[in-house]
Amino acid sequence: MQSALFLALEHNSGRMERGGRRRSEAEEVEKGRMKRTIIKDWKTRLSYFLQNSSNSTKMKSKKVGKHRTYFRPSPEEAQLWSEAFDELLANKYGLAAFRAFLKSEFCEENIEFWLACEDFKKTKSPQKLTSKAKKIYNDFIEKEAPKEINIDFQTKNMIAQNIQEATHTCFSAAQKRVYSLMENNSYPRFLESEFYQELCKKTPITRAAQGT
């Protein structure tokens, strides 16, 4: 009887072990599928931002027939983005990747505001400066703006007064605040994201490649 009981327990144990292995394998397959979906979604968003950036450059340029193409950075180049936030923003592909990441976190208004401020500071015409200041205020600053950024009430009031006689420093305080938010919160999460880790991976060298 003890022998039969032992065999029954052993049989059940084997069944549980096989069941556990199958669940573990299924979980790994599901994790792999989710990772591929996330990376595919990232690539779609990245392609969109790169395309828009390229179109914007072509529209501003008066030279016909010149097209700018952005290539995937090397792992070494992508790794440089982790050294400083400015390194990331200064790279066209890196900026587009970061925008795609912020969009996935539903806070793309931060980078859009920062970019609008960068463009604003380059404006030379006083008339254009005033119209751009009002547009930035309407889009990002005023209460319930379509892309309202998270800044304090005092800064909002100061901006509302400053844009009456717009200068290049109208949005300086708000831009610094948004930059700090991105650098301290979104940027570290971007560096830990699946997409960024994928960019930093070096392609394994095959034996055939080594032989050439």
DSSP 167: -
Q: Looking at residue 71, what is its pLDDT?
A: 76
What pLDDT is stored for residue 111 in this prediction? 97
Residue numbers of the domain that contains 147? 75-199
Q: Is residue 178 part of a domain?
A: yes
Looking up residue 173, the CATH number of its domain turns out to be 1.10.167.10
Res 79 pLDDT > 80:
yes
Residue 42 lies in a domain: no
- 10 lies in some domain: no
Q: Is 61 within a domain?
A: no
What's the pLDDT tens digit per position in 150-173? 999 999 999 999 999 999 999 999
Q: Where does the pLDDT of residue 188 fall: very low under 50, low under 70, confident under 90, or very high at 90 and above?
A: very high
What is residue 72's predicted lDDT score, i.e. its pLDDT? 85
Tally the domains of the chain. 1
38 within some domain = no
Task: Say if 70 falls within a structural domain.
Answer: no
What angle, 0 to 180 degrees and rounded to 10, lies between the N-to-C axes of helices 92-104 and 109-121?
A: 140
pTM greater than the 0.75 cutoff: no
Using the predicted structure, report yes or no on whether residue 26 has a pLDDT greater than 80.
no
Position 212 confidence tier, pLDDT thresholds 50, 70, 90: very low
Average pLDDT, the chain: 79
Q: 3-state DSSP call for residue 123?
A: coil
Q: Is residue 177 part of a domain?
A: yes
pLDDT at 129: 95
Residue 64 is predicted with a pLDDT of 39
Whether pLDDT at 80 is above 80: yes
1 pLDDT more than 80: no
Q: Which of 31-35, 71-75, 187-191 has the lowest mean pLDDT?
A: 31-35
Three-point CA angle 43, 79, 208, nearest 5°? 75
Task: Report if residue 69 sits inside a domain.
Answer: no
pLDDT in tens, 55-64: 444 444 444 3
Percent of the residues in the chain that have a pLDDT greater than 90, as a whole number:
58
Place of tokens 């573990």: 24
Backbone angles phi, psi at 65, to 5 degrees: 95, -5
